[in-house]
Amino acid sequence: MHEAKQSTQERYSYSSRPIGVVNRVREVQHLYRMWQQGTLAQVDRTLNAVRECEERLTELCGVKLEGLDVLDVGPGQQLKHMRVLSVKNRVVGIDTDIVAQGFHLHDYVEMLRRNSVLRTVKTVTRKLLGWDELFEKSLARGLSVQGFPRLPVFLMDATRMSFPDASFDVVCSWSAFEHIEHPRTALAEVARVLRPGGVAYLAIHLYTSHSGSHDPRTLSNDGAAPPYWPHLRPAHQGSVRPNCYVNEVRLDEWKRLFHETMPGVHFVHERQEELLPHLRELKARGELADYSDDELLSVGLIGIWRKDGKTTLPTAVS
- Between CA 108 and CA 118, with CA 112 as vertex, the angle to 5 degrees is 110
Q: Which 8-state DSSP code applies to residue 269?
A: E
High-pLDDT (> 90) share of the chain, %: 63
Phi and psi (nearest 5°) for 71? -110, 125
Q: Which 8-state DSSP code applies to residue 267?
A: E
Residue 251 is assigned to a structural domain of this protein: yes
3-class DSSP assignment, residue 69: strand
Distance (Å) of CA 221 to CA 22, 31, 213, 276? 21, 12, 17, 18
Mean pLDDT of the chain: 85
Residue 4 is assigned to a structural domain of this protein: no
Within a 10 A sphere around the Cβ of 9, how many other Cβ atoms? 14
Global confidence as pTM = 0.85
Residue 224 is assigned to a structural domain of this protein: yes
Task: Choose between 122 and 213: higher pLDDT.
Answer: 213
Output the DSSP codes for 131-143: HHHHHHHHHHHHH
Q: What range does the domain containing 117 cover?
A: 21-306
Residue 1 is assigned to a structural domain of this protein: no
CATH at 25: 3.40.50.150
Task: Choose between 268 and 224: higher pLDDT.
Answer: 268
Residue 9 is assigned to a structural domain of this protein: no
Residue 316 is assigned to a structural domain of this protein: no
Measured CA to CA, the distance from residue 294 to residue 202 in angstroms comes to: 19
Q: Which 8-state DSSP code applies to residue 163?
A: S
Domain count, the chain: 1
Q: Does the structure show a pLDDT above 90 at 7?
A: no
pLDDT-derived band of residue 145, with 50, 70 and 90 as boundaries?
A: very high
Q: Does the structure show a pLDDT above 70 at 240?
A: yes
Phi and psi (nearest 5°) for 288? 60, 25
Residue 315 is assigned to a structural domain of this protein: no
Residue 14 is assigned to a structural domain of this protein: no
Average pLDDT over residues 206-225: 81
Average pLDDT over residues 250-276: 97
pLDDT reported for residue 255: 98
Measured CA to CA, the distance from residue 167 to residue 184 in angstroms comes to: 20
